[in-house]
Amino acid sequence: MKTRAVAPIALIALVLGAVPALAQGQSQRPGQAQPAAGKPYKTVTISAPPQISDATFEAFRKQLAAVVEKKDRKALAGLVVQDFFWLGEKGDRADKKKPGIDNLAKAIQLDGRDAPGWELLGAAAGDPTGTPYPERKDTVCAPADPTFSMDEFEALVKSTGTEEDDWAFPVQQGIEVHASAQPNSPVVEKLGMHFVRVLQEQTAQQSPMIRILTPSGKTGFVPPDALNPLGNDQLCFSKDAGGWKISGFVGGEQ
């Protein structure tokens, strides 16, 4: 059981089709209204991830957002520690002979045209949550884990015949679920703070929205940045006398 809800990427992997197809029946065209034909499931509630109550961290995130907006790699280098770590299943993958920015770039795919790493950094800049990283002093990793009953979640996965990766949680209370993959389509329901089943179909690669099944059994669509997955990657930050810096990355295994 994966217990780490990580990384400031809001279901980017799901949009790219990294999650197996879960929906039953025929595929729907993007934007086509979906019937409320799913099977209801038990609600497993979560508590919102804790936010970092530090004005200097908020200022750092604003600074990072400005760098990301301009895709200024030189300025970004000044926000990365030299002793950058990159932890995967096989240990620290960072090359300690290279500058921290080079290791960050490789870890989050920051090089090349339309590099996804800039989107990841932008999401990190907008995320005020974080949890302490025990192995590193004065280090936090984001986004923070939500609080929930692991026993209830495991029972939910088992009772629905799904996998852990088929579930996500809202970034906030009241996320609107739309009838189709268009943001201006009718709202069929609003999400509470609970786990939501993600229904990923082949057609979802062409859609700007993610198809989900709510606990009541309704199918609908939400924006990809409205949900966070369990078991994704984490970006880590540390604070010293010079302020906050990007100090590490957890994940990125191929």
pLDDT at 37: 52
Query: For the chain, which residues make up each domain, given as ranges?
Result: 12-49+146-229, 55-141+241-249
pTM of the predicted model, to two decimals? 0.67
Mean pLDDT, consecutive 10-residue segments, the chain of 254 residues? 38 39 34 56 91 93 96 96 91 94 96 89 90 88 87 96 92 93 94 93 60 95 86 88 94 66
User: CA-to-CA distance for 252 and 196, rounded, in angstroms?
Assistant: 24
For residues 80 and 94, is the Cβ–Cβ distance under 8 A?
no
State both tokens at 5: 């809800």
For residues 97 and 111, is the Cβ–Cβ distance under 8 A?
no
Per the rule left: phi > 0, alpha: psi between -120 and 50, beta: everything else, 231 is left
Q: Measuring CA to CA, how many Å separate 101 from each of 3, 50, 198?
A: 29, 28, 34
What CATH number belongs to 12-49+146-229?
2.30.30.40
pLDDT at 208: 76
pLDDT at 216: 94
CA dihedral of residues 143, 148, 152, 155 (deg, nearest 10)? 10
State both tokens at 232: 């994704």
3 state DSSP class of 250: strand
DSSP string computed for 12-66: HHHHTT-SPP---SS---TT----S-PPP----B-BPPPB---HHHHHHHHHHHH
CA dihedral of residues 128, 133, 139, 141 (deg, nearest 10)? -30
pLDDT at 89: 79
State both tokens at 200: 């990923």
User: CA-to-CA distance for 168 and 2, rounded, in angstroms?
Assistant: 13
pLDDT at 201: 57
pLDDT at 239: 92
